[in-house]
Amino acid sequence: MKLFLAGGEANISIIQKLRPPNVLLSYYYLTQQGAEISIKDWLKKVRVYKPCIFLDSGAFTAFTQKTQININKYAIYLQRNKDDVFVYCGLDAIGDAEQTFKNQLFLESKGLKPLYTFHVKEDFKYLKWAVERYDYIALGGMVPYAKDEEFLKKWLTQCFEIIKPEKTKIKVHGFGLTNFSLIKKFPFYSVDSTSWLSGARFAQCFFWDSRKLDMQIINVRDAAIKKYKSTIEKLGINFSQFLHGKFSYEGINTINMYAFLCAEKDINQYYFQKGWDFWNEIKIPEKTLENSQEKTQKTTISIRTIPERIEENILKKEIKVNSKGSPLTPQTQCPKQSEYKVGYGHPPLSTRGKIQEILKAHPEIEEKRKRNLEKALAGNLFGLKHGKYAKNLPLYCNDCYVKEKCPFSVFNPKSPNYNPNQGEEKAICALQPVFSKFFPKDFKIRDVRKIDELKERLIKIMLDRLMKQLWFEVLDGGIQDKAATHLAFKILDYLKEPATINIYENPAKIDKIEVDIFAPPCQDEKSEVSESTKNEKKQEENPGDALAKNENLCSARAQDKENGKGQTEGA
């Protein structure tokens, strides 16, 4: 793929430094200052080398600046400079497909062979006409839709379905296309872009990521630019001055052009690996070809890297190895398609793709599959779904696999809730209210009393489960169940936790309470004591009540003395 870098008219110093192989020049810029600059004159300014030149008419630039290009003057300029360029395009009429078609025919009548451009939202009849007539076609009008990648993807898919470059060998050029995700999806012969010039306007540097095959855009003042210190210094730029804001537009453009040149090399290698070199023009360096061949071919293990005993086994059994030289184990060594066996994780070749037909012909296989599925879901009591199906809560009888056995189910004939006309209508599980009542409605995490009540409930449930597990141990002949042992230790851990009580609305654990019996009572206790003393005084004010109390006390003491004497005499 050829990546033509636009803007070569005003960036000759950068071109001389980096020597890009493909450059795009615009007729509009070469002639806008009144003095017409020929291609030969421009090559004299470059002097260092002769790049492959793509000559554009500049119709889109003229359209944005509300000017027009004279087609007669353009035809004369092409006749003078056509031998010095790789390809030159026709004069587009933006928004008028019919006029673009007429301009193409007019230039051809002058003995020229310009590149025809098919634009977005034009009738596909023009593209079909161009496919039958030319071997090099351009697709344009994509710049206004650069942010709408899905739209461009659909439009390019339609275009390439008509062009079919793998059969027709027609070359396709993409005008203003630097969306590398689209470039990787469609086999373009060439593209062009001015994006490398836009970075200087916004103080942004482009760096090519060869691993992801994508462009990274980093602001000059961003700390992440330190990662690319070696790349910047490689281009002859003082990184310390560049980091402290002493950078120029030329320096940023140099970095950005280098990034696009790296992108062109990696995209060419990507096309070559995918077999998209329909024209046999992609040139891959010999070193990269050797590296790619070494990765694909089976490598041999070095004698120095492994012990002699393993080395002898490998030489005898001819064990296959991966690209790093380590032997492939039976788990990592994938068999060929013809060697797939049942139980390896793949269906046999004889039944592959015919499972549905076999199930229809043999319903007993489907019944066996359902029985196995019920066994697998034995631990899933309510048949709860996962993922997006988990939104089907609250619980329904329809989703439960024990709906025909549950004593509360509407599908069980022995259940009092049985409904023969239920059908596929959703029925809420009868146990749902029981589950919802387990947690009280006024449950609060910071309420100590509620937490203690919940702990008691959970411990009772765990004890009930433990007794059932111990009983099943007896039924199984005394075989100990690890789950029961684990549950018993869990219950002990819960029981070891000390209970909590509230002291003046402050929760505290019992084993940490220190009560001072001789501590003076608080104000509330003092008030209670004072009220009790007042009541006693009121009662003592009544003389009859006081005499009765004294008589009772005297009789009680006399009885105690008599009982004490009898006990001493008996002893």
In the DSSP assignment, the letter for residue 339 is G
Q: Measure the CA–CA gap between 202 and 205, rounded to whole angstroms.
A: 9
Backbone phi and psi for residue 396, each to the nearest 5 degrees, phi listed first: -120, 145
Confirm if 501 and 510 have CB atoms less than 8 A apart: yes
- How many C-beta atoms surround the C-beta of residue 540 within 10 A? 11
CA dihedral 351, 355, 357, 359 (to 10 degrees): 120
Confirm if 71 and 91 have CB atoms less than 8 A apart: yes
Q: Measure the CA–CA gap between 412 and 419, rounded to whole angstroms.
A: 8
Angle at 198 between CA 192 and CA 202, to 5 degrees: 160
CA dihedral 1, 249, 35, 194 (to 10 degrees): 30
Q: Measure the CA–CA gap between 84 and 54, rounded to whole angstroms.
A: 10
Secondary structure, 3-state, 194-245: CHHHHHHHCCEEEEEECCCCEEEEEECCCHHHHHHHHHHHHCCCCHHHHHCC
- How many C-beta atoms surround the C-beta of residue 49 within 10 A? 11
Q: Measure the CA–CA gap between 480 and 470, rounded to whole angstroms.
A: 8
Q: Measure the CA–CA gap between 564 and 571, rounded to whole angstroms.
A: 11
pLDDT at 55: 94
- Alpha-carbon distances of 342 from 352, 356, 371, rounded to whole Å: 11, 18, 21
Secondary structure, 3-state, 434-494: HHHHHCCCCCCCCCHHHHHHHHHHHHHHHHHHHHHHHHHHHHCCCCCCHHHHHHHHHHHHH
Q: Measure the CA–CA gap between 193 and 204, rounded to whole angstroms.
A: 16
Q: Measure the CA–CA gap between 235 and 241, rounded to whole angstroms.
A: 14
Q: Measure the CA–CA gap between 182 and 141, rounded to whole angstroms.
A: 15
- CA-closest candidate to residue 159, choices 139, 132, 180: 139
Confirm if 117 and 138 have CB atoms less than 8 A apart: yes
pLDDT tens, the chain, 571 aa long: 899 998 888 888 899 999 999 999 999 888 876 678 899 998 988 888 889 999 999 888 888 888 889 999 999 999 999 999 999 999 998 888 899 999 999 999 999 999 999 999 999 999 999 999 999 999 999 988 888 899 999 999 999 999 999 999 999 999 988 889 999 999 999 999 888 888 877 788 999 998 888 999 988 888 888 889 889 888 888 888 887 777 778 888 899 999 999 999 999 989 988 888 888 887 665 544 445 444 444 433 333 444 444 444 544 444 555 555 555 554 444 444 444 444 445 566 677 777 788 888 888 888 888 887 777 665 554 555 544 444 445 567 777 777 888 888 888 888 888 888 877 777 877 776 666 666 666 666 667 777 777 788 888 888 888 887 787 777 766 777 778 888 888 888 877 766 555 555 555 555 544 444 444 555 444 444 455 555 555 454 454 555 455 556 556 656 655 555 454 444 3
Positive or negative, the CA dihedral 528, 534, 535, 536 is: positive
Backbone phi and psi for residue 219, each to the nearest 5 degrees, phi listed first: -70, 150
Helices (H) and strands (E) in the chain, counts: 23, 12
Confirm if 481 and 469 have CB atoms less than 8 A apart: yes
Pairing mode, strands 2-6 and 190-193: parallel
Q: Which two tokens stand for residue 499?
A: 């209970």
Backbone phi and psi for residue 52, each to the nearest 5 degrees, phi listed first: -80, 120
Q: CATH 3.20.20.105 spans which residues of the chain? A: 2-286
pLDDT at 503: 56
Positive or negative, the CA dihedral 515, 518, 519, 522 is: positive
Q: Which CATH class is domain 2-286?
A: alpha beta
Rounded CA Rg of the chain: 45
Contacts of 460 (CB under 8 A, 6+ apart): none
The three-state secondary structure class of 249 is helix
pLDDT at 567: 47
Q: Which residue has the tokens 């050029």?
A: 173
- How many C-beta atoms surround the C-beta of residue 237 within 10 A? 17
